Amino acid sequence: MEELQQKLLQFVNTGELRNNNTIVTNSRHYNALLSALEEINKVQDGLNHNLSGDLLAIDIREALHYFGEITGEITNNDLLGNIFANFCIGK
């Protein structure tokens, strides 16, 4: 868990976004990055409170989901499938 924690923090805490060295021109990407950061902060909080790996995995998956929206691993079809699978639409 300690190694995972360090890798996640290295990935997020580069400081590049805070130093205005990186510009995100796509608002969808910006929102996905903010959401991923929020999930990673949840993981950090969970690690600080010794939560089980199963609970941390939920937030890690969410962070990966948001990164996938940026990299194209999560496509619109995947998003629609997720919406229809998890929400009761039109009933």
Domain boundaries, the chain: 2-86
Residue 32 DSSP one-character state? H
Could you tell me which residue, 23 or 89, shows the higher pLDDT? 23
1: exposed, middle or buried (C-beta count within 10 Å: 0-12, 13-18, 19+)?
exposed
Contact by Cβ (8 Å): 61, 73: no
**Mean pLDDT of the 24-49 span:** 89
Instruction: Check whether 49 has a pLDDT greater than 90.
Output: yes
Give the dihedral sign, CA 80/85/86/89: positive
pLDDT at 22: 64
**Mean pLDDT of the 24-50 span:** 89
pLDDT at 36: 92
